[in-house]
């Protein structure tokens, strides 16, 4: 449970990351990931990545530019266009359901 936990990267986080190892007892059928972030970066960056033995970025929440998010699942992605941030904290959630293939994004 990471509720109320914070990871702080004080330098350019191009090589900074956190690894959490989870034990899955069955294949992943759906997921929701929510997080709050703050950055002054204008270059593309990853917010969340879930790796499997077969693929490094099986699930990837990526921000290629200030007005766009991409959610990758199994190598395919959907783009979500958003208003450009105002230099404030952003609270986002992304979800995916395998049965329907529906992906959702909330800002």
pLDDT tens digits, one per residue of 61-73: 999 999 999 999 9
Instruction: Map tokens 């350019």 to a residue.
Output: 12
Considering the domain 26-106 in this protein, what is its CATH number? 2.60.120.200
User: pLDDT digits over 49-61, tens only?
Assistant: 998 888 899 999 9
For every residue of 11-54, DSSP letters joined together read S-GGG---------SS---EEEEEEEE-----S-EEEEEE--SS
Look at residue 34 and tell me whether its pLDDT is greater than 70: yes
CA distance 4 to 2: 6
Q: Give domain limits for the chain.
A: 26-106
Dihedral sign (CA 3, 90, 88, 13): positive
Q: Give the global pTM.
A: 0.85
């Amino acid at each position: 449970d990471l509720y109320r936990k914070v990871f702080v990267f004080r330098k350019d986080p191009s090589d900074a990351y956190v690894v959490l190892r989870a034990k899955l007892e069955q294949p992943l059928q759906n997921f929701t990931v929510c997080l709050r972030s703050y950055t002054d970066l204008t270059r593309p960056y990853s917010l969340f990545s879930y790796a499997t033995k077969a693929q490094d970025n099986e699930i990837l929440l990526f921000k290629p530019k200030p007005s766009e998010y991409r959610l990758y699942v199994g190598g395919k992605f959907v783009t979500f266009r958003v208003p450009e941030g105002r230099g404030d904290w952003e609270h986002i959630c992304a979800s995916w359901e395998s049965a329907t293939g529906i992906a959702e994004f909330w800002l």
